[in-house]
């Protein structure tokens, strides 16, 4: 069984994003970039399935600039077997990404594709669902548990107010939620070994996909600045203020 894991290079989750002065987007100049956290969870899950003897190969794929090779090397250091970079400097929308992933999936022929539930830069939460539709495959989104059971995958999903368990026939698409697992750190020997694992770079034009944007970003704004707090002397003063602002 083969597993395909798409990983996106995004602004590191510890970095506070700054909006460009013209409001056209987030300023990425000199900002630390890392593997999307949900994709790291997806790589970890694929490795655990392989370690359990239920998968034979893990292929990771990223669509992005040449520097996205870094996130692919990180995934290889964790334990993926080979990587594909579809190189482009364009900022692609989820539909274009899903179409490219479809082309890669038709070539790699994975039994399972595990994506993150969302990329933390654009928070779209669309690619996995679109890929499932384009490939006409069953999907289990927001997975907090994944079990391979013969020709099926049993996915426990985090839904409002509880958990839902579904059984999908392979080949299938799964997207990861935060509680699925805790990704491992790559050891130094594995980081060194990852440098020798195959990483194929190809041009976006070779995928034969129309990646023309269909959406126009009108503006990006920072969240409103929070007003400062007030320190009160005692409970009576607190109650008086709460009454004053009309919440008590």
Please identify, using beta-carbon distances, which residue of 116 and 138 lies nearer to ligand AMP.
116
Considering the rule CB under 6 A, would residue 142 count as an interface residue with ligand AMP?
A: no
Instruction: With CB under 6 A as the rule, give the number of residues binding ligand AMP.
Output: 21
Considering the rule CB under 6 A, would residue 139 count as an interface residue with ligand AMP?
A: no
Considering the rule CB under 6 A, would residue 125 count as an interface residue with ligand AMP?
A: yes
Residue 11 half-sphere exposure, CB side, CA atoms within 13 Å? 17
**Site map 9..48 versus ligand AMP, x via CB under 6 A:** ---------------------------x-xx---------
Please identify, using beta-carbon distances, which residue of 71 and 168 lies nearer to ligand AMP.
71
The footprint of ligand AMP on residues 206-225 (CB under 6 A) is none
Please identify, using beta-carbon distances, which residue of 156 and 176 lies nearer to ligand AMP.
176
Single out the segment in contact with ligand AMP by CB under 6 A; choices: 23-31, 62-70, 199-207, 232-240.
Answer: 62-70
Contacts of 130 (CB under 8 A, 6+ apart): 94, 95, 98
Q: Say if residues 143 and 177 touch (Cβ distance below 8 Å).
A: yes
First-last CA distance in the chain: 61
Three-state DSSP class for 34?
strand
Q: Closest Cα partner for 157 from 170, 139, 171?
A: 139
Please identify, using beta-carbon distances, which residue of 77 and 132 lies nearer to ligand AMP.
132
The footprint of ligand AMP on residues 94-123 (CB under 6 A) is 94, 97, 115-116, 118-119, 122
SS3 content of the chain, % helix, strand, coil (to 5): 30, 30, 40
Exposure string over 51-71, b if 16+ CB within 10 A, otherwise e: eeebbeebbbbbbbeeebbeb
Q: Is 166 left (phi over 0), alpha (psi -120 to 50) or beta?
A: beta
Give the integer Cα–Cα distance in Å for 196 and 28. Answer: 30
Considering the rule CB under 6 A, would residue 8 count as an interface residue with ligand AMP?
A: yes
Considering the rule CB under 6 A, would residue 69 count as an interface residue with ligand AMP?
A: no
Taking CB atoms, the residue at the shortest distance from ligand AMP is: 116
Single out the segment in contact with ligand AMP by CB under 6 A; choices: 57-65, 103-111, 133-141, 143-151.
Answer: 57-65
**How much is the CA Rg of the chain, to the nearest whole Å?**
21
Quote the longest CA-to-CA distance of the chain.
Answer: 70
Please identify, using beta-carbon distances, which residue of 7 and 155 lies nearer to ligand AMP.
7
Candidate residues 69, 127, 139, 141; the one interacting with ligand AMP per rule CB under 6 A: 127
Binding positions for ligand AMP, rule: CB under 6 A:
6-8, 36, 38-39, 62-64, 94, 97, 115-116, 118-119, 122, 124-128
């Amino acid at each position: 069984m083969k597993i395909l894991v798409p990983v996106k290079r995004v602004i590191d989750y510890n970095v506070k994003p700054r909006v460009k002065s013209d409001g056209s987007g987030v300023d990425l100049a000199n900002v630390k970039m890392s593997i999307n956290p949900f994709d790291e969870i997806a790589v970890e899950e694929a490795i655990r399935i392989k370690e359990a003897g239920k998968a034979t190969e893990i292929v990771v794929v990223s669509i992005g600039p040449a520097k996205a090779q870094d996130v692919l090397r990180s995934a290889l250091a964790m334990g993926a077997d080979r990587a594909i970079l579809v190189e482009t400097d364009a900022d692609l929308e989820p539909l274009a990404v899903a179409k490219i992933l479809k082309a890669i999936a038709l070539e790699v022929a994975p039994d399972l594709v595990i994506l993150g539930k969302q990329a933390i830069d654009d928070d779209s939460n669309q690619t996995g669902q679109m890929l499932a539709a384009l490939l006409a495959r069953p999907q289990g989104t927001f997975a907090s548990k994944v079990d391979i059971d013969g020709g099926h995958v049993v996915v426990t999903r985090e839904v409002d107010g509880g958990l839902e368990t579904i059984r999908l026939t392979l080949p299938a698409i799964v997207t990861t939620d935060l509680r699925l697992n805790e990704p491992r750190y790559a050891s130094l020997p594995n980081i060194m070994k990852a440098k020798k694992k195959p990483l194929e770079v190809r041009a976006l034009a070779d995928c034969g996909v129309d990646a023309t944007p269909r959406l126009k970003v009108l503006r990006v704004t920072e969240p409103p600045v929070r007003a400062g707090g007030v320190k009160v002397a005692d409970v009576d003063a607190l109650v008086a203020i709460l009454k004053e602002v009309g919440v008590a």
